[in-house]
Amino acid sequence: MTRYSPSDDSLIKSKKKFNLRELGGAFGDWGTLIPFIIGYISIVGLNPAGIFICLGLTNIILGIKFNLPLPVQPQKTIGTIALSQRWNQSLVISTGFGTGIIWMILGLTKQLDKIVKKVPIIIVRGIQLGLGLILGWNALVLVNENLILALISIAIILILAKYDIIPSAIVLVILGIMIMIFTEKLSINSFYFSVPQISIHIPNLMDLLYGMIVAGIGQFFLTLTNVMIATIILARDLFPERSEPLNANTLSFNMGIMNIFSPFLGGIPLCHGSGGLAAQYAFGARTGGSMILEGIIEIILGVFFSNTLLQIFIEFPASIFGSMLLFTAFLLAKVSFKNINKKRFLLIFTIAIICFFVSISVGFVSGLVIYLIFKNKLK
């Protein structure tokens, strides 16, 4: 007779946390992550080792802390402006450090959660749909590189999602590597061990002030809506059984700590985001195991293959990443239609269109004003 041991439960939980589904989910958010990383390495000149080691450590720590697929993503407003204006390294890391100070202070005040709870759910649904449209458009731009490969990738995602054989993200990454090898854009010789040279970066006060004025303020409103509101609501939608829901104060403090420390190693400005959560969930992640696995992969890449990372990511078929991004966009858009009627749909759609054509911050403010004016008619 086999005796029961409490360690059996731990073993079962570990198997659920570290299985193929979680590994597939670990690659789910790379469709939005990698384009920014390529830009930061090739345009700004940041060291890939510093970027990936900071990403990896952050993902592992948060995966253990929350046990949720809550990956970190680049701060998109800062990233977009930094790459389009070709910022230097000091400006990027100083701006990231500045956002870290602000979010840590706001997290310590314990007031953000009260603010977030007062935001009407219908506004959040509009932001979610807007994010779905933005991600979907970016995905279409990527898949346009090779429509045949994109259709094959989408077919793989849909088939594997239906029959649950093996996570599609793993299959697509393997497919991408095989294509690179077959087209001779990548060879076995491309993979070689190297010892990374990590430089210590010190934030500059003038760069911090300039970066916060030019990009940090806009990033604040994007983070407030996409992270503090949309991510918390999405986590509640996807994990209703969770006894301790996420709250804005905790997320704010997390972003503060990660952005205060990572710039010193050359890490990029980071935040949480509903897009990353939706992406990892869409490709199989259900626990923090996906983040831990992603973090391990990123640290291995940063420590041992930092000299070959840029070549690999630049040559990786954009249509595959685009297909993954398109599936994520679909999930976000689908969630936005949860429990709505025709009257509410009009406001949700209006907010989404403003988010898509103007910005998420303007969409949030405009939607809130419209909601307050027509509040009684929307019930």
Residue range 128-150, pLDDT digits in tens: 788 788 878 888 888 898 999 99
Ranges of H-type helices in the chain: 6-17, 20-26, 30-39, 48-66, 76-84, 89-109, 112-117, 121-143, 147-163, 168-182, 205-211, 217-223, 232-238, 248-261, 274-282, 289-304, 306-315, 318-336, 342-357, 360-373
Mean pLDDT, range 347-361, rounded to an integer: 86
Per-residue model confidence (pLDDT) at position 190: 66
Please, are residues 68 and 250 in contact by the beta-carbon 8 Å criterion? no
Per-residue model confidence (pLDDT) at position 306: 75
Per-residue model confidence (pLDDT) at position 165: 66
Pairwise pLDDT comparison (186 vs 172), residue with the higher score: 172
Q: Domain coordinates of the chain in residue numbers?
A: 12-378
Pairwise pLDDT comparison (196 vs 231), residue with the higher score: 231
Angle at 180 between CA 84 and CA 40, to 5 degrees: 20
Asked if the model's pLDDT at residue 340 lies above 80, the reply is: no
In DSSP notation, 311-370 reads HHHHHS-HHHHHHHHHHHHHHHHHHHTTT--HHHHHHHHHHHHHHHHT-HHHHHHHHHHH
- How far is residue 130's CA from residue 143's CA, in Å, rounded to a whole number? 20
Residue range 233-268, pLDDT digits in tens: 888 888 988 767 788 898 999 999 999 999 999 999
Asked if the model's pLDDT at residue 294 lies above 80, the reply is: yes
Asked if the model's pLDDT at residue 338 lies above 80, the reply is: no
Asked if the model's pLDDT at residue 12 lies above 60, the reply is: no
Mean pLDDT, range 109-136, rounded to an integer: 82
pTM: 0.78
Per-residue model confidence (pLDDT) at position 7: 43
Per-residue model confidence (pLDDT) at position 8: 40
